[in-house]
Amino acid sequence: MSTTALVGTGHRPTIVLVGHGMVGQRFLEALAERGLTATHRVVVLCEEPRPAYDRVQLTSYFSGTTPDELSMTDAEFITEHGIDLRLGDPAETVDREARTVTARSGLVIAYDTLVLATGSYPFVPPVPGKDAEGCFVYRTIEDLLAIEAYAKSRATTGAVVGGGLLGLEAAGALKGLGLTSHIVEFAPRLMPVQVDAGGGAALLRTIEDMGLTVHTGTGTQEIVTGDDGAVTGMKLSDGSELATDLVVFSAGVRPRDQLARDCGLPVGERGGIAVDAQCRTEDPHVFAIGECALAADGRVYGLVAPGYEMAETAAATIASADSSFTGADLSTKLKLLGVDVASFGDAHGATAGCLDVVYADSRSGTYKKLVIGRDGELLGGILVGDADAYGTLRALTGSVPPVSPEQLVLPAGGGGGVALGPSALPDSAVICSCHNVTKGAIRGAVTEHSCTTLPEVKKCTKAGTGCGSCVKVLGQLVNDELTASGVEVDHGLCGCFTQTREELYEIVLALRITSYRSLLDRYGREGARGGDGCEVCKPTVGSIIASLAPTIGANGYVLDGEQSALQDTNDHFLANLQKNGSYSIVPRIPGGEITPEKLIVIGEVARDFGLYTKITGGQRIDLFGARVEQLPLIWTRLVDAGFESGHAYGKSLRTVKSCVGQSWCRYGVQDSVRMAIDLELRYRGLRSPHKLKSAVSGCARECAEAQSKDFGIIATANGWNLYVGGNGGATPRHADLLAQDLSDAELVRLIDRFLMFYIRTADRLERTSVWLERIPGGLDHIRDVVVHDSLGICEELESLMTAHVANYRDEWTETINDPEKLARFVSFVNAPDTPDPVVGFVPERDQIKPDLPLLTIGHRPLEGSAQR
């Protein structure tokens, strides 16, 4: 192989960075901030085929985040600072005597300063069969692409070896790909480094409730393969066997220090390139930062925050500034499989004489433990299921909190708990551990640097630009400081209105305003009046007017006149837009109860129009693949058969699930099916700030999963228990008990009040779960209002619901009976008879799926689903 030398020009020294991950990119930014990219030649050798990306958020790829969206740099930054970034060309050898690095391509680069940021590699246990087809690691975007392709082509069951941070994320990814998923962890609990036995138990219950199977206290002895050499199973150390056709190893990482070993640099006994407090190796011309480095305190740090601090230390030292890395905060806050998990400080209570304060609720999967010193000092803690207080508690570590530890772990608003805000923190408290930004620095950004918005403060201080776990506390601090400085904080809905959504609701209701134009012209900001509004306020006001239509005398039909222009994408065609431009149809099936005749009609429609058919999680049937011009034809047949819109496209009631209840089930104590049908027919079409889901269980066995719904009902021997504020999704939350042992009439009355109070006071796109936690007083306040009528508004709330029920009209029935409304259902206005040529399908499992072009990213084809 021929080689080419890249040498300095004699007037600019050369810095060579080996590795371009998150820490490597932060090092480049630190060089740029100090002006070193102007005075030095900077060359980056990157092994991966893409620039630095957010590895912390890697799993979000499976929920639709594209690799480009994960990127942490852009071509403009690289070009602006004259950085020579060489992708897919890693360093292979270092000649310290000649001060050169040789890349895989044969390129030889002379350096004045060499910075090793080679990160870590996944540890794969040395078990037989570990290299078989179907075995993967979970580290890079390329790994994820390979796992996705294999899962789609030939796997139905997946197993993850390792129950740590990445292991749980990998298991969630496999489940998201449709695989039956297992987790195998050698330790007696999940996440053994971060949580204790109690936290592990809470996490285990929640994860098993999600349908994943967990095997703790056992290791992997062998990967079993078939005749074709592909994975067919695993043998475990407890003697059991696990059938699986895909294995992901996520059993920890090891420092990538081979380059340093080969050139004679000292490494630790268990790996890691030995560096001093300035992140310099034994060779004064060579630095090491991030996961490949063994810090002066004898640790290899596997978190991004210490890596960033190392990167800044190395850049400062190269710039001849005083800086040192003497250790870092190992606190972490993550969301694993939708579950909040956090640990901070002395989480496991290693300090002599410390005490534990513990709150555990196995029903909701919540576990909180604080480690307290004898003098009352907060030493650390563990939070599972509810980590909202993480930012404040971590910042209070090392001090005596202003309230008792018991008040910090008990639920706020009940049992003596308090929600301690960031205002209680001292200025020295570190708010952003990724960039070591204190509360004082954040306050200074407002008072000294005239920052007036959260984005400005983030840009000024870098706070909130790392893992993002501090953003909530950061926003509160910014608003508090602006208020204290006499600056009026703008809580307006958007740039068009100074009012909040709740205030606009009250204006529309009190003044009987029936059009968006009238509201904007009378109450919009001065510069917005007479304008067209924005994509925030138009659907928000449209929803308010639709919610109040019967009371204020407006036409609540979403496709009438001005209302049509206010709607979100799905509401424009009363159907859910899918990723290939086709639409899906969801007829309402109250309570999940359906006659054979109606099932036959759905089957015939799906057959005649060639639609993909899927049973949903809400006990309904979803029909996919309809072109826009087919929607009226399909709905004509469905309406004729007695179906109506299921509102799967709207911010409204979706469904009320039910079990079979006492009519069939030997455990049932109430008629859950009848109640579910009654409730769904009562609240159908109710427009709200966000979607609404409900369920009714006929006994305490909870087969309908009512406690994961916005309002859920569970039967008792004495009536019904009403739960509110639950949801599934990316941030699951168990609902809270609002009232118990209610009669049918009492139950309906309280739900009426609860829903209308939510619609009245919630913010735009705010689920009931978030609203319940945000509203001052929380559940206790809501109970006072809707149960005890503390505000004296319950009669009005009931009246609003009565008007809605009395004036309900099915949107699709109105649409197919109005030629003007039908005219909009075309792909091309100027060629109404021409179908959209982009909408295509291919066969799969005796049905269809979208035919999408492949999107090429790097050197691999990526299915178009990642464009969502």
CATH code at position 676 = 3.30.413.10
Residue 352 covered by a domain:
yes
Query: Where a domain ends, among 549, 567, 585?
Result: 567
590: exposed, middle or buried (Cβ count in 10 Å: 0-12, 13-18, 19+)? buried
Query: Where a domain ends, among 518, 538, 567?
Result: 567
- Bridge pairing between strands 583-585 and 612-615: unpaired
CA proximity to 367, closest of 164, 168, 198: 198
Q: What is the pLDDT of residues 570-623, one digit of tens each?
A: 677 888 888 777 889 999 999 999 999 999 999 999 999 999 999 988 899 999
In this structure, what CATH number is given to the domain that contains residue 849? 3.90.480
Given this model, what pLDDT does residue 861 score?
31
Number of structural domains the chain divides into: 7
Is residue 790 domain-shared with residue 815, that is, in the same domain? no
Residue 576 covered by a domain:
yes
How far apart, in Å, are the Cα atoms of 225 and each of 74, 132, 179, 821?
43, 7, 19, 60
Quote the CA–CA distance of 172 and 511 in Å, as a whole number: 49
Is residue 802 domain-shared with residue 656, that is, in the same domain? yes
Residue 244 covered by a domain:
yes
Quote the CA–CA distance of 256 and 21 in Å, as a whole number: 13
Is residue 99 domain-shared with residue 176, that is, in the same domain? no
Is residue 142 domain-shared with residue 40, that is, in the same domain? no
Structure tokens at 849: 């799926």
Residue 10: count of CB within 10 angstroms of its CB:
6
Is residue 656 domain-shared with residue 804, that is, in the same domain? yes
Place 676 in a pLDDT band, splitting at 50, 70 and 90: very high
CA proximity to 801, closest of 601, 585, 549: 549
Residues 6+ apart with CB under 8 A from 539: 566, 567, 568, 571
Quick one: CA dihedral 448, 500, 464, 83, positive or negative? negative
Residue 129 covered by a domain:
no
699 is an annotated ligand-binding site residue: yes
Residues 6+ apart with CB under 8 A from 599: none
Q: What is the pLDDT of residues 492-534, one digit of tens each?
A: 888 789 898 999 999 999 999 998 889 999 999 888 888 878 8
Quote the CA–CA distance of 134 and 129 in Å, as a whole number: 10
Structure tokens at 152: 């789609």
On whether the CB atoms of residues 242 and 182 are closer than 8 A, the answer is yes
- Report the run of H or E that residue 719 belongs to, with start and end: strand 719-724
For the chain, the helix, strand and coil percentages under 3-state DSSP, each to the nearest 5: 35, 25, 45
In this structure, what CATH number is given to the domain that contains residue 69? 3.50.50.60
pLDDT at 194 over 90: no
Instruction: Tell me, yes or no, if the pTM score tops 0.85.
Output: no
CA proximity to 43, closest of 74, 70, 76, 6: 6
| pLDDT average, residue stretch 284-311 | 91
Is residue 683 domain-shared with residue 796, that is, in the same domain? yes
Query: For residue 653, what is the DSSP state?
Result: E
Residue 381 covered by a domain:
yes
Is residue 369 domain-shared with residue 450, that is, in the same domain? no
At residue 740, what are phi and psi to the nearest 5 degrees? -135, 160
Residue with tokens 């499976």: 62
Is residue 306 domain-shared with residue 374, that is, in the same domain? no
Q: What is the pLDDT of residues 257-281, one digit of tens each?
A: 999 999 999 999 989 999 999 999 9
Residue 700 covered by a domain:
yes
665 is an annotated ligand-binding site residue: yes
Quick one: CA dihedral 829, 831, 832, 836, positive or negative? negative
Sequence-distant contacts of 595-602: CB under 8 A, at least 24 apart:
597/641, 598/641, 598/642, 598/643, 601/637, 601/638, 601/641, 601/643, 602/638
User: Distance between the two ends of the chain, CA-based, in angstroms?
Assistant: 43
Is residue 462 domain-shared with residue 408, that is, in the same domain? no
Is residue 667 domain-shared with residue 586, that is, in the same domain? no
Q: What is the pLDDT of residues 799-817, one digit of tens each?
A: 999 999 999 989 899 899 9
Lowest mean pLDDT among 206-215, 427-436, 720-729, 759-768: 427-436
Domain that holds residue 538: 501-567
% pLDDT > 90, the chain = 49
- CA 649 to chain centroid: 21
In this structure, what CATH number is given to the domain that contains residue 382? 3.30.390.30
Given this model, what pLDDT does residue 359 score?
87
263 is an annotated ligand-binding site residue: no
- Bridge pairing between strands 612-615 and 621-626: antiparallel
Residue 15 covered by a domain:
yes
In this structure, what CATH number is given to the domain that contains residue 468? 1.10.10.1100
Is residue 655 domain-shared with residue 755, that is, in the same domain? yes
Is residue 657 domain-shared with residue 800, that is, in the same domain? yes
Lowest mean pLDDT among 109-113, 240-244, 327-331, 704-708: 327-331
Q: What is the pLDDT of residues 747-798, one digit of tens each?
A: 999 999 999 999 999 998 899 998 998 888 888 899 999 999 999 999 999 9
Quote the CA–CA distance of 135 and 129 in Å, as a whole number: 9
pLDDT at 197 over 80: yes
List 86's β-bridge partners, or say none: 45
Residue 130 covered by a domain:
no
659 is an annotated ligand-binding site residue: yes
Query: Where a domain ends, among 370, 405, 420?
Result: 420
| pLDDT average, residue stretch 637-645 | 95
